[in-house]
Copies of this chain bind each other. A is one copy, B any other.
Amino acid sequence: MAGRRPGQTQTREHILSAARTQFGALGYGGATIRGIAAEAEVNPALIHHFFGTKEQVFVEALSLPVNPTVMAEVVLNGPRDHAGERLVRLMLGLWSAPEPGKSFLALLRSVSTNEQAAKMLREFLERAVLTKVATALGVPRLRMTAMAAQLVGLAMVRYVVRVEPMASATDDEVVAVVAPVIQHYLDG
Contact = CB atoms under 8 A, between A and B. Distances in A.
A124 to B, nearest CB: 10
A109 interface: yes
The 8 closest A-B pairs by CB, nearest first: A153-B153, A149-B153, A145-B166, A152-B153, A149-B157, A108-B112, A149-B154, A109-B112
A125 B161 contact: yes
Interface stretch (A51-59, A76-84, A177-185): A177-185
Q: How many copies does the complex hold?
A: 2
A157 to B, nearest CB: 4
11 contacts: A109-B113, A112-B112, A112-B160, A142-B166, A142-B169, A142-B173, A145-B166, A146-B157, A148-B157, A152-B156, A152-B157
A121 B146 CA distance: 24
Given A152-B157, A162-B118, A143 B177 contact: yes
Interface string A162-173: 111110010001
Contacts of A64: none
